[in-house]
């Protein structure tokens, strides 16, 4: 049995990050403009804190400005709205990201709705999801965008391929379906009520797992030679590493899938790094559009 190619998201993201940094340097030099990203975090969830710290670090490393707003878990809807509105007005802030999930007293949809769509680098605003659905030029959610960059890199033309996405979230599943459709794939979205998930999976040339259930996709669900993108990040006990230790796994059983797939993303080191670099790219895109600069012309 041949082993699947492991898609190195970390290396690919590093390459793309260098491109972002080069564009930022041109923006500074030729346009006297420094893209700025504001990240808002409520509360002390350790995983969210790590993500947010990582985003801030990479924003600075690519030469952009990073504005971190860490508010208490008890922040009210009115206080958060006031912050979003002030960031909307701030000329140094070109991108705004409010880390999800938000505490239960906050109406998440109302907060996303309050973000200026031009600064919505998450691509979650209804204006941006509407533009994605109708083929317009909005801002595209970062994780699906990262998945598409890897798929295009691996497969080139995807016309006519059968794509299955497991998971129908607004953050990943639904926008990714639109993007795959734009590439002329035949797209199916599976979810918790899907009848025979294993059979749906076996028919897919492109399989994307985004459900948040550790190692749910088994090797015998995968069509031989298929391209597998694992969006899941699940922490499971790892007694072999010592008492109380854990490790990260995806939604796909990686060892089994490697025996069958043509190519597969690992967890960690697959989709995760791509998501952050797409956030940086979206911030540059947002900055260029706000300033009326042709982004494509930055890199010649």
Judged by the rule CB under 6 A, the positions of this chain that interact with ligand GUN are 97-100, 122, 142-143, 171
Which is closer to ligand GUN, CB of 226 or CB of 271?
271
What is the closest distance, in whole angstroms, from the C-beta atom of residue 179 to ligand GUN in the complex? 15
What is the closest distance, in whole angstroms, from the C-beta atom of residue 64 to ligand GUN in the complex? 17
List % helix, strand, coil for the chain (3-state, nearest 5).
45, 15, 35
Q: At what angle do helices 271-291 and 142-155 cross, to 10 degrees?
A: 110
Q: H helices within the chain, ranges in order?
A: 9-31, 46-61, 77-89, 108-114, 126-134, 142-155, 173-182, 197-202, 254-258, 271-291, 295-298
What is the closest distance, in whole angstroms, from the C-beta atom of residue 111 to ligand GUN in the complex? 10
Which is closer to ligand GUN, CB of 27 or CB of 84?
84
What is the closest distance, in whole angstroms, from the C-beta atom of residue 35 to ligand GUN in the complex? 18
DSSP letter, residue 168: -
Q: Among 45, 75, 1, which residue's Cα sits nearest to residue 225?
A: 1
Q: What is the spatial distance between Cα 168 and Cα 18, in angstroms, rounded to a whole number?
A: 32
Which is closer to ligand GUN, CB of 79 or CB of 259?
79
Catalytic center residues: 55, 99, 122
Q: Which residue is nearest to ligand GUN (CB)?
A: 100
Q: Which residues pair with 34 in a beta bridge?
A: none
Q: From the centroid of its chain, how far is CA 9?
A: 12
Which is closer to ligand GUN, CB of 140 or CB of 298?
140
Which is closer to ligand GUN, CB of 98 or CB of 207?
98
Sheet holding 36-42, edge to edge: 65-71, 36-42, 95-98
Q: From the centroid of its chain, how far is CA 103?
A: 21
What is the closest distance, in whole angstroms, from the C-beta atom of residue 233 to ligand GUN in the complex? 9
């Amino acid at each position: 049995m041949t082993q699947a190619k492991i898609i190195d998201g970390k290396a690919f993201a590093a390459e793309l990050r260098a491109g972002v940094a080069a564009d930022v340097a041109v923006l500074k030099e030729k346009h006297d403009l420094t893209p700025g990203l504001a990240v808002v975090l409520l509360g002390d969830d350790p995983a969210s804190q790590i993500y947010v710290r990582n985003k801030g670090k990479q924003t600075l490393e690519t030469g952009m400005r990073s504005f971190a707003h860490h508010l208490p878990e008890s922040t009210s809807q009115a206080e958060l709205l006031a912050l979003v509105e002030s960031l909307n007005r701030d000329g140094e802030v070109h991108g705004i990201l409010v880390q999800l999930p938000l505490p239960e007293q906050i109406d998440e949809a109302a907060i996303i709705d309050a973000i200026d769509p031009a600064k919505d680098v998450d691509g979650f605003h209804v204006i941006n999801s509407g533009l994605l659905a109708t083929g317009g030029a909005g801002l595209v959610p970062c994780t699906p965008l990262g998945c598409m960059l890897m798929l295009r890199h691996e497969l080139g033309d995807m016309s006519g391929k059968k794509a299955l996405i497991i998971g129908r979230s607004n953050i990943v599943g639904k926008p990714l379906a639109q993007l795959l459709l734009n590439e002329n794939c035949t797209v199916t979205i599976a979810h918790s009520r899907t009848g025979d998930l294993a059979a749906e999976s076996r028919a897919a040339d492109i399989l994307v797992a985004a459900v948040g259930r550790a190692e749910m996709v088994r090797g015998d669900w995968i069509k031989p030679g298929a391209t597998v993108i694992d969006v899941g990040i699940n922490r499971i006990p790892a007694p072999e590493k010592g008492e109380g230790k854990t490790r990260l796994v995806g939604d796909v059983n990686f060892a089994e899938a490697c025996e069958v797939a043509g190519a597969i993303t690992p967890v960690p080191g697959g989709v995760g790094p791509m998501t952050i670099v797409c956030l940086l790219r979206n911030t540059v895109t947002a900055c260029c559009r706000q300033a009326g600069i042709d982004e494509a012309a930055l890199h010649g």
